[in-house]
Amino acid sequence: RCKDKLDILAISVINQWPTTRLRVIESWDEDGEYLHGKNSLHYEGRAVDITTDDRDTSKYGMLARLAVEAGFDWVYYENRDYIHCSVKSDSFHTPHDSGCFTKDSMVLTSNGSMKAMSDLVYGDQVLSVNDRGEPIFSEVILFMDRNLEQTAQFIKLTTEHGAVLTVTPAHLIMIWNKEKMLSSYVFADQIRANDHVFVYDITKALRPQRVIKLETITRKGVVAPLTRTGTIVVNSVAASCYAIVNSQKLAHWSLAPMRLWSNVLSYMGLSNQQSKEEKRRRRFAIEEYQNGVHWYARALYTIKDYVLPTTWRH
């Protein structure tokens, strides 16, 4: 949690002062050294002491405000030379360990209408991206996460032509590498100004657009639909359906059992060509029985720390 807040704060600092970077002067310390006092949160990995890289003390007031907005639970001047920030332990806080969009984010459906994330149901055909980077419509087969009442922190990115995507920091976003002339997926909090994301434009094609602004915001309501392709175009911006793991292919492979189960349901006539009554029943089932992370996704999030190296995880 401390690292997540620090990553968000680093983005805020760049937005506030484009030529300035966040500087950490103290973070985690080994037990027994007692450089901060016997009961310091530095020994639990829950505290950092920060400044700006130019060490301009006139900026520290705003830096403290940005740290509060980034989600640190405690922020105060421990010393005139730096700001101390820390977070509560996980026993006091349930982290949002998944990747989601805001509930009012919009997707394009196969019938040509726009639909809010909160209104999606199983079987909806939404705009996605195939393996060749082409826009196609793909079926929503489940929700990795869905909680319309949960408040979470998001990264809000804006492109040069006005496309806006709001997504949790650990979510994978499709970007374009101009030097290598290829696309890849990175975590939302790793995107920087002047990076290029793919936007579905009036030509009905996905084209790179430059990111001109990044913000951190707090919103109520999280939704993470899973399509058969493992991708989705949200507010015209191409994104993955996955998060936490920095490999689109690995994440897609890990959800193969859920796609297989969806295929079984489709074969039985329970997913495709649904009647209005069937969709109404499925919407009720989603709202009644899923209020949080899907059980399969939760299982994957649980085992990731044991089977994946830290460099593969958010």
Residue 91 is assigned to a structural domain of this protein:
no
Per-residue pLDDT at 153 = 84
Task: Give residue 21's domain range.
Answer: 1-86
**Cβ proximity of 174 and 198 under 8 Å:** yes
Give the end of a domain, one of 58, 86, 114: 86
Q: Residue 237: which CATH number?
A: 2.170.16.10
What pairing do the DSSP bridges indicate for beta strands 237-243 and 231-234?
Answer: antiparallel
| 8-state DSSP, 145 | E
Per-residue pLDDT at 268 = 65
Average pLDDT over the chain, rounded to an integer: 85
**Cβ proximity of 146 and 249 under 8 Å:** no
Residue 94 is assigned to a structural domain of this protein:
no
In the predicted model, what is the mean pLDDT of residues 41-59? 90
Same domain, 32 and 160: no
Residue that has been written with the tokens 């292919």 in this structure: 249
Task: Say which range, 25-39, 137-151, 189-203, 240-254, has the weakest mean pLDDT.
Answer: 25-39
Same domain, 32 and 157: no
State if pTM tops 0.95: no
Q: How far apart are CA 95 and CA 305, in angstroms?
A: 15
Q: Residue 18: which CATH number?
A: 3.30.1380.10
Same domain, 146 and 78: no
Same domain, 248 and 218: yes
Same domain, 216 and 278: yes
Residue 130 is assigned to a structural domain of this protein:
yes
pLDDT-above-70 percentage for the chain:
86
Give the end of a domain, one of 40, 62, 86: 86
Q: How far apart are CA 129 and CA 244, in angstroms?
A: 20
pLDDT in tens, 67-108: 988 888 889 887 788 999 998 875 544 444 567 899 999 999
Same domain, 245 and 293: yes
pLDDT in tens, 149-187: 888 889 999 999 999 999 999 999 999 987 777 889 999
What six digits make up the tokens of 150?
A: 């949960």
pLDDT grade for 129, boundaries at 50, 70 and 90: very high
Number of domains, the chain = 2
Residue 263, C-beta contacts closer than 8 angstroms, at least 6 positions apart = none
Length of the chain, please? 314
Residue 96 is assigned to a structural domain of this protein:
no
**Three-class SS state of 33:** coil
Same domain, 23 and 107: no
Residue 51 is assigned to a structural domain of this protein:
yes
Q: Which of 77, 32, 69 is nearest to 51 (CA)?
A: 77
pLDDT in tens, 237-296: 999 999 988 899 999 999 999 888 877 766 665 544 455 555 555 554 454 445 678 888
pLDDT grade for 303, boundaries at 50, 70 and 90: confident
Per-residue pLDDT at 34 = 59
